[in-house]
């Protein structure tokens, strides 16, 4: 999850792939969860976001949906620092910033909705006010 805090409150970055209409958090397969630099680099390159890790371990772990390949989802939280101009990933997605209530409405899975609420509760005071350049 990528978050920032504005004068309106804590916001969550959601993306929607061009071929889908569902909104989601940045997601990708990862073999080694211990290397935060790889995670940060992937987010920066793929979604053109400059981010900083807010936690040294996942804030939540949950099983993947029945409609997806078997596996586990590990949720990490990152603070948005700005756009990553050197990113090389394709721009094949839409994105939007959502406050807590909107993010919960757009994310359909109940466990993810609860994680959004937990992240908001745990990190909203830790994220400094975002000052756009």
Q: 71-111 pLDDT, tens per residue?
A: 788 889 999 999 988 878 888 888 999 999 999 999 888 88
Q: Which helix (H) or strand (E) holds 68?
A: none
Lookup: tokens for 49: 């976001």
Question: If you write DSSP's letter for every residue of 87-116 in order, what string do you get?
Answer: --S---EEEEEEEHHHHHHH---HHHHHHH
This prediction has a pTM of 0.87
User: Which CATH number is 2-123 given?
Assistant: 3.90.79.10
């Amino acid at each position: 999850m990528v978050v920032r805090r504005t004068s309106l409150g804590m916001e969550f970055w959601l993306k929607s792939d061009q071929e889908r209409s569902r909104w989601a958090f940045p997601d990708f397969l990862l073999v080694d969860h211990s290397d935060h630099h790889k995670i940060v680099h992937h987010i920066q390159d793929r979604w053109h976001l400059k981010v900083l890790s807010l936690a040294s371990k996942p804030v939540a772990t949950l099983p993947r949906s029945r409609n997806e390949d078997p596996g586990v989802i590990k949720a990490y939280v990152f603070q948005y620092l700005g756009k990553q101009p050197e990113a090389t990933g394709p721009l094949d997605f839409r994105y939007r910033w959502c406050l807590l209530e909107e993010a919960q409405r757009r994310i359909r899975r109940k466990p993810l909705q609860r994680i959004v609420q937990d992240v908001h509760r745990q990190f909203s005071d830790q994220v400094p006010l975002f000052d756009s350049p």
